[in-house]
Amino acid sequence: MDPLSISASIAGLVSLADLVFRQTKKYVKSARGSYKEVNDLYREVQGLSNVLHKLSLVAFDLELEATEGATIPFETAIDPSCIRECDLLLGRLRKGLSDTKSDLGSSSAFNRLQALLKWPFSSTETRELLDDVRRQKQVIDTAIAADSLGKMRSILSNQEKISAEMSDIQTAAQQILDNQAQVFADKQKKAVFDFFSKIDHRAEFEKNKRLRHSQTSLWLTQGQDFDEWYSTPGGRMWCSGIPGAGKSVIAVSVIEECLRRREVYKDTAVAYVFCTYRDASTYELSAILSSLCAQLALHNEQALEVLSNYHEELKKGSCSASQPSTDGLVRVVHEMSSFFSSVYLVIDGLDECGDHLATNVRSLTGISLSQREKLINLAILSRDELIIRQSLEPMFHHIEIAAQPEDIQLYVASQLEERIKTMNLKFRNLELKDQIMTELVDGAQGMFRWVACQLDHICNLPSDRARRYALGKLPPTLPATYERILTELDKLNDEAKQLVQRTLLLISLPPLRQLTFDELCEAISVDLDSDTLVDDDLVEKEEVLRWCGSLVRQSVESRTVEFSHFTVQKYLEEDCPKHPTIHQYGVSKDKAYALLGSLCLRYLTLKAPNYQLLPESAKAAESEHPSIMDNLRPSFISPSARHRAAQILVRAGAKHDLQLETPFISYNLACP
């Protein structure tokens, strides 16, 4: 979903309000004669639920209008704080009422009496909650009843402020793109930019931006910690968190907030890098620093001139010195920063740099620590690893990242509504929906990723009974979740298990270029014991997604297939191979090369309507089948890979049994 759209958030609030209403009703029904404030609260929650339902219909209407070309998109219409306040209020009620729910339904009269005596809120708290619910209901109800759309927007939100903030981000981003277009128009400048643009920083930013759920991360970007980091000259901030807590999504929010404020403080600059397991170049310190330099050059003509001069220095140097050095790049970053009042650098995923971690941490922190003018503000987001902690503390202000309970709550509620709407989830009993929300919110421990996996699992179960049983046995951690997924997969037929094993191995290949879904589907469809491959043999993309479930996903930007989260690959590489029953799903470079090489060799000897098996001798191959490689399916093998693989195959007499000394065959299959 569009991360700035709040339609899904409103749907989540509807689900949450319904849950609170049902919980309150149970208490009132069981506690006959309950005091007046409780009954009043029950009625007001019912009223709030009703107006939220109305608001969801208005939201749907406006969002539809926006998709059909409305001049003002719906996402600018409602102040996020209005939704967040309602979420916090309903979350407080849900949490308190959940504690009494089980006892109220007890068959024991004594337990029910105890529950009645322990209404979770004091009289004062109940009256405050009652006032808050009434206020929220009035704000929303008044807006819905407004005479016009413009009046509704002015009541429900600070429209001018929201529109201005949206415009600020868009203007800042557009200005950078315009600068880039001007650079590219000049061939000499374009050559400089191309030389230093080692990383496609924008692609990873867009990928994580799409994953962000509306209304999340506000606790940081609208909080005091962020303001202090942003406004303090030379400010340093380290945000750490457990895997699956949404660090990269928070990095997107930090970057966007810096871009938004840039419209006020126009002489500032923003640059960022996402270090990711999907792109080996993002581990390299030289590539990281080069990317930061290239981004800064787009903000300012004088900064670009500094980078151009450094490029000339490298061209005049010896061959060994033609690549930028760490010291040289750090010096250039400092020189370029002198043309701005402040420079904001954001580095995400530093912990994913593997063997480069220690060097990268030392050099990147050195950019901030060694500056004289305190112009560079640095934010680092990573897991809390010892090497990083020792390098950053106490110089960096440390913020522990965990998905906030209210963020998790709204995410679960909106995801449930979305899956119900798309018919991926159905209930016979709405109480099960309430139970799912409660169990997932309480069990998340700050991990969005964990919640997503549990929802995927629950949606795949056939009945309410099965879902209720699964809720009682939720795996507590991400590794345990992946173990459950693979254990279930191991119960499938041999053909499906082979599909999963091949898919995981091929995706795990070194990330020089990821396979597209077409390439992957064709590769896993090759039968090593058959000399044909026809359309009827091909596995469909939907089957891969069906069997591999929460483990893989398709990249929207590149149409390639990848692990759904870096923790998936980490589990498959480190934990899975040691497991007594599912070790066969573990991945390694050797296993991946061996599989892809075997598929390559079989692929090159496939029969087709317009050619026969590749002859065993090089001479025969050249004389009888000069264009045989051009007749192969294009999806799986690139031209250069086909040529190299054919040379090796012919030298081996078409009978080579792949060994580890020929991994470059498979390596080139996934490379241009």
Residue 64 has pLDDT above 70, yes or no: no
Q: Which of 406, 447, 439, 469 is nearest to 550 (CA)?
A: 447
Lowest mean pLDDT segment, chosen from 177-186, 235-244, 470-479: 177-186
Q: Which of 426, 412, 279 is nearest to 348 (CA)?
A: 279
Output the pLDDT for position 117: 54
Q: Which residue has tokens 């997969």?
A: 489
- When pLDDT is averaged across residues 217-242 and rounded to a whole number, the result is 91
- When pLDDT is averaged across residues 591-597 and rounded to a whole number, the result is 86
User: What is the chain's mean pLDDT, rounded?
Assistant: 77
pLDDT above 90 covers a percentage of the chain that reads 31
Q: Provide the residue type at 456 as one letter.
A: D
Lowest mean pLDDT segment, chosen from 40-54, 259-273, 502-516, 608-622: 608-622
Asked whether the beta carbons of 400 and 241 are under 8 A apart, the reply is: yes
CB atoms within 10 A of CB 225: 15
Output the pLDDT for position 578: 95
Q: Looking at per-residue confidence, does 626 or 426 come out higher?
A: 426
Asked whether the beta carbons of 200 and 368 are under 8 A apart, the reply is: no
Residue 665 has pLDDT above 50, yes or no: no
Residue 593 has pLDDT above 80, yes or no: yes
Q: Provide the residue type at 536 as one letter.
A: D
The pLDDT tens digits for 187-218 are 777 888 889 988 888 888 988 888 776 667 77
Per-residue burial over 112-148, b = 16 or more CB atoms within 10 Å of its CB, e = otherwise:
beebbeebbbeeeebeebbebbeebbebbbebbeeee
Output the pLDDT for position 235: 95
Output the pLDDT for position 355: 87
Nearest-Å Rg of the Cα atoms of the chain is 29
**For residue 170, what pLDDT band results from cuts at 50, 70 and 90?**
low
Output the pLDDT for position 582: 95
Residue 386, SS3 per DSSP = helix
Output the pLDDT for position 397: 94
Output the pLDDT for position 145: 61
Output the pLDDT for position 37: 74
Count Cα atoms within 13 angstroms, Cβ side, for 225: 17
In the sheet with 236-241, reading across from the earlier edge strand, the strands are 268-274, 342-348, 376-382, 236-241, 397-401
- When pLDDT is averaged across residues 37-62 and rounded to a whole number, the result is 76
Residue 599 has pLDDT above 50, yes or no: yes
Q: Which residue has tokens 């692990």?
A: 563
Residue 237, SS3 per DSSP = strand
**For residue 657, what pLDDT band results from cuts at 50, 70 and 90?**
very low
Q: Which of 647, 527, 671, 548 is nearest to 599 (CA)?
A: 527
Measured distance CA(515)–CA(509) in Å, rounded: 9
Angle, CA of 13, 15 and 16, to the nearest 5°: 60
Residues in the chain: 672
The pLDDT tens digits for 2-42 are 433 566 777 778 888 888 888 777 777 666 555 677 778 87
Output the pLDDT for position 238: 96
pLDDT above 70 covers a percentage of the chain that reads 72
List the structure tokens of 275.
């270090």
- In terms of C-beta density within 10 A (0-12 exposed, 13-18 middle, 19 or more buried), how is residue 427 classed? middle
Output the pLDDT for position 558: 65
Q: Which of 275, 170, 246, 206 is nearest to 557 (CA)?
A: 206
Lowest mean pLDDT segment, chosen from 244-248, 405-409, 567-571, 618-622: 618-622
Output the pLDDT for position 113: 57
CB atoms within 10 A of CB 626: 9
Lowest mean pLDDT segment, chosen from 134-143, 294-303, 446-455, 643-652: 643-652
Q: What is the DSSP letter of 273?
A: E
Output the pLDDT for position 164: 52
Q: How far from 208 is each of 31, 321, 359, 565, 609, CA to CA, in Å?
A: 48, 36, 26, 11, 45
Measured distance CA(196)–CA(284) in Å, rounded: 13
Output the pLDDT for position 139: 74
Asked whether the beta carbons of 195 and 311 are under 8 A apart, the reply is: yes
Q: Looking at per-residue confidence, does 111 or 374 come out higher?
A: 374
Output the pLDDT for position 211: 77
Element (H, E) at 561: strand 561-563
Output the pLDDT for position 158: 44
Output the pLDDT for position 594: 87
Q: Which of 278, 250, 204 is nearest to 448 (CA)?
A: 250
In which region does residue 381 sit, left (phi positive, over 0), alpha (psi from -120 to 50) or beta (all else)? Answer: beta
**For residue 433, what pLDDT band results from cuts at 50, 70 and 90?**
confident
CB atoms within 10 A of CB 109: 8
The pLDDT tens digits for 256-285 are 999 988 888 889 999 999 998 878 889 899
Q: Which residue has tokens 């340093």?
A: 236
**C-alpha torsion angle, residues 147, 149, 153, 155 (rounded to 10):** 0
**For residue 445, what pLDDT band results from cuts at 50, 70 and 90?**
confident
Measured distance CA(563)–CA(555) in Å, rounded: 10
List the structure tokens of 177.
């793109």
Output the pLDDT for position 80: 60
Residues 6+ apart with CB under 8 A from 498: none
Asked whether the beta carbons of 399 and 325 are under 8 A apart, the reply is: no
- 237 bridge partner residues: 379, 397
Total-model pTM: 0.69
Q: Is the dihedral of CA 169, 170, 171, 173 positive or negative?
A: positive
Measured distance CA(458)–CA(455) in Å, rounded: 5
First to last CA, the chain: 32
Residue 361 has pLDDT above 50, yes or no: yes
- When pLDDT is averaged across residues 553-560 and rounded to a whole number, the result is 77
Angle between helices 247-262 and 201-211 (to 10 degrees): 110
The pLDDT tens digits for 373-408 are 899 999 999 999 999 999 998 999 999 887 777 788
Lowest mean pLDDT segment, chosen from 408-417, 437-446, 511-520, 640-649: 640-649
